[in-house]
Structure 1
Amino acid sequence: MSEGGRMSATATRPAVYSDKAYNPTIDTLKGALILLVMVGHLFTAKVDGNPVKWGIYAFHMPLFLGLGGFLLTVESLRRLSFRSLWKKYDTRMLLPWAFAFLLWISLDSVITHEINISYFIEALREPPYHTWYIPVFFFFIVIAWAGRYHFVLTSLIGIFLGVFGLLALGVGHYTGPWRHGFPIDYRYLTMMPFFFFGFWLRQRGASPPNAWIALLVAAAFSAYEACYFYPANAAEIFPYLALNFSMIAGMPWLFRLHWKVPIVTEIGRESLYFYLWHPFILIVLKKATYHLMPEAIAGLFALVFTIATMWFARMAICNLSWLSLLAGLPRRAHLKV
């Protein structure tokens, strides 16, 4: 979903940013976040209806977008015209997303009997379920490209607009005054500060003290989790921002570990494929099994079955060039079993 497990280098940055060797930590982090996305989709409760889901949704998508911003460099963006930027992402990311998006809304419109042009327009305005991520992510990339010669100012504007978006649109229990009737998906604003903080952090090569980061993450997560039991309205924005900014700030340290976890790292290498297609399987399994057994057991079964199905399906898909392209699988000579 974001850039692959290699990172562009400049002479002035520490070895963690080196492009000379593959760093599995990037894919391991992406794989862990994909698994959290899947786990979040297992719950039948709303975000504010379960403390575990509340905790997952406190950071997993902001961290994903922070990682996406962190993996961008102004050097690479300055080498690209807009046409080159589009060509870089059109078939590897935007085409698979468009295919999954059209399939999702087609199936949903058949099920709900909402087959009309207004439904399609509404879905474009506010992409349903998980399909919001790719257009939001690409929108941020385009903004970063447009401001590539003034990355500090671009990052500051992005962070400021994002914080303003959280105040105006809301997070957690808080619903901002602009939330109802907002013309586009609210995450175009509310996720912006995390992408641009990661983008700024990468260009600056900043690496705050590890102990302070760990303490801030623990304190902010505890504070935000406490908001589940004791809603704090707009004040919930502060631990939410502190948690995600501190987790993103820990990336330079994390990427020094060269951390590889079997299965998780491989899922991260094919994160777009697993992200786009897991809900199609999970939702069917939830409808088929959740009424037969306790939700925790059914959810575990659905998670394992979904991962196993997608894991082995990609072996067949990768041999079919067009299907592989539409599925969002990387172009590699072979895939690991």
Structure 2
Amino acid sequence: MSNRPPITARNPRVDLLRGWLILLVIVGHIVLGSVHEQFVRYAIYAFHMPLFIGLTGYLLNPDKLASSSLIAVGARYWWRVGLPFLIAFACFTGILLLHAQQEGRFSSSLVLGYLVTPYYHLWFVPTLILWVFGFWLALKLRFPLILALLGSVFITAVWSMFAGVSLPHIVALLVSKKVVYFFSFFLLGAWLRTDAGVRWLRSMTVINAIPPAIILISAAVYLMHIGPEKSVLKGGAWLMMNCVLILVSIKWIQTRLSAKANKTVRRGLMSNTLVAMGRVSLPIYLWHVVPMFLLKGWDIHQTQPWIYYLVSVVGASLIVAALLKMEGKNRLMDRLVYGI
């Protein structure tokens, strides 16, 4: 009998965690400055995507995925994330290409570049689809998930600890891609959904104090080394922090909630809003950057940063509010924007 916890109804803790993470995504995109120079962005980028990716992997149903055909998986993810992504991709890329044409920079190589490397934040959806297909293939071939996880963690460690110039060119090129070095977090989340992962998580109950301590120490080490330079210590701290953070977060999600605890999670305007944001995190992720996208196109962030911040915060807030308000109001919009 499987030890996997069933995920049949919506778990408010999942949506609450995703709500916090999507809020951090918005903040990270609004704040100006290089990730390696601006401390707020550096701190947010240290963990928000690895944790979001790990949670995404955990929410996959391996039994359902393994029993599905390639066409069925493709169709499911086309409607769930592919079509909403394609609409956002067409809008952002169309504006960028129009701007390039006005400046005389339009070329076939530019179009190809946007197709291979979508604008800014849009990388996540096509990368997620590749991860799902890779995971599906591993399940079909009955490849040991733990071996895939260990191999992927090794690749992530190489990327996080060593500068590209110190690696062979082919290796540096391979590990520099998000689809490669973030895959370990996706697989970790997926593995924690397996029987072995569930048993391992249950064993953490006897050492509850240790994982948070590891997270705090690793985070302190990583945050003390702000900058683009890589090292074994810094990369190891980053990898350890995120792996343990995923473990702790999923352990928290798995904790059985009483009716009273469910109400506590949902209590208050902030919690309700974050849970709702977590529920519609895809359209928020795709469209929250519109104000920043336009303002940066007009160079407002350089000439009048206070106007940039004001309009970005208000604009992003209005977009989030509109997406929360319109959810479920129109079947066509649900399909095109929300992926439901």
Calculate the TM-score normalised by the size of structure 2. Answer: 0.81
Q: How far is the alpha carbon of 1:39 from its aligned partner? A: 0.6
CA distance in 1, matches of 2:71, 2:228: 49
DSSP 3-state at the match of 1:47:
coil
Q: Which has the higher contact order (CA 8 A, sep 6+)?
A: 2
CA distance in 2, matches of 1:175, 1:51: 23
1:147-162 equivalence runs, <5 A: 147-148=138-139, 153-162=144-153
Decide whether the 8 Å contact of 1:67 with 1:195 is kept in 2: yes
CA pair 180-19 structure 1, distance change in 2 beyond 3 A: closer
CA pair 211-270 structure 1, distance change in 2 beyond 3 A: same
Tell me which residue corresponds to 2:72. 84
Tell me which residue corresponds to 2:81. 93
Name the amino acid aligned to 1:130. Answer: H
Decide whether the 8 Å contact of 2:19 with 2:276 is kept in 1: yes
Alignment partner of 1:127 is 2:127: no
1:212-291 equivalence runs, <5 A: 212-228=210-226, 231-255=229-253, 256=255, 258=262, 259-260=265-266, 261-285=271-295, 290=301
Q: How far is the alpha carbon of 1:83 from its aligned partner? A: 1.1
Q: How far is the alpha carbon of 1:41 from its aligned partner? A: 0.6
CA pair 174-214 structure 1, distance change in 2 beyond 3 A: same
CA distance in 1, matches of 2:43, 2:331: 39
Tell me which residue corresponds to 1:198. 189
DSSP 3-state at the match of 1:45:
coil
Alignment partner of 1:144 is 2:154: no
Q: How far is the alpha carbon of 1:23 from its aligned partner? A: 0.9
More helix by share: 2
Q: How far is the alpha carbon of 1:84 from its aligned partner? A: 1.1
CA distance in 1, matches of 2:42, 2:163: 13
> For 2:178, which of 178, 184, 187 is the aligned residue?
187
Give the unaligned 5+ runs of structure 1.
1-9, 332-337
Alignment partner of 1:18 is 2:3: no
> For 1:117, which of 105, 108, 119 is the aligned residue?
108
Q: How far is the alpha carbon of 1:312 from its aligned partner? A: 2.2
> For 1:302, which of 312, 322, 325 is the aligned residue?
312
Decide whether the 8 Å contact of 2:277 with 2:324 is kept in 1: no
CA pair 224-280 structure 1, distance change in 2 beyond 3 A: same
Tell me which residue corresponds to 1:74. 62
When the two chains are superposed, the root-mean-square deviation of aligned CA atoms in Å is: 3.0
CA distance in 1, matches of 2:171, 2:99: 26
Tell me which residue corresponds to 1:52. 40
DSSP 3-state at the match of 1:61:
helix
Decide whether the 8 Å contact of 2:84 with 2:339 is kept in 1: no
Q: How far is the alpha carbon of 1:150 from its aligned partner? A: 6.4
CA distance in 2, matches of 1:247, 1:101: 31
CA pair 151-202 structure 1, distance change in 2 beyond 3 A: farther
> For 1:41, which of 29, 45, 59 is the aligned residue?
29
CA pair 156-184 structure 1, distance change in 2 beyond 3 A: closer
DSSP 3-state at the match of 1:227:
coil
Q: How far is the alpha carbon of 1:277 from its aligned partner? A: 0.6
The CA deviation string for residues 288-325 of structure 1, in whole angstroms up to 9 with x for no partner, is 86568665x85366234312233225645754443442
Tell me which residue corresponds to 1:211. 209
Decide whether the 8 Å contact of 1:125 with 1:183 is kept in 2: no
Decide whether the 8 Å contact of 2:280 with 2:324 is kept in 1: no
CA distance in 2, matches of 1:244, 1:278: 25
The CA deviation string for residues 254-273 of structure 1, in whole angstroms up to 9 with x for no partner, is 11265331111101100110
Count, aligned residues? 315
Decide whether the 8 Å contact of 1:29 with 1:268 is kept in 2: yes
Identify the range of structure 1 (286-295 vs 65-74) with the bigger mean alpha-carbon deviation: 286-295
Identify the range of structure 1 (97-106 vs 114-123) with the bigger mean alpha-carbon deviation: 114-123
Q: How far is the alpha carbon of 1:219 from its aligned partner? A: 0.8
Give the unaligned 5+ runs of structure 2.
none
CA pair 195-159 structure 1, distance change in 2 beyond 3 A: farther
CA distance in 2, matches of 1:300, 1:198: 37
Identify the range of structure 1 (150-159 vs 206-215) with the bigger mean alpha-carbon deviation: 150-159
Name the amino acid aligned to 1:53. Answer: R
DSSP 3-state at the match of 1:127:
coil
- Percent identical residues: 24
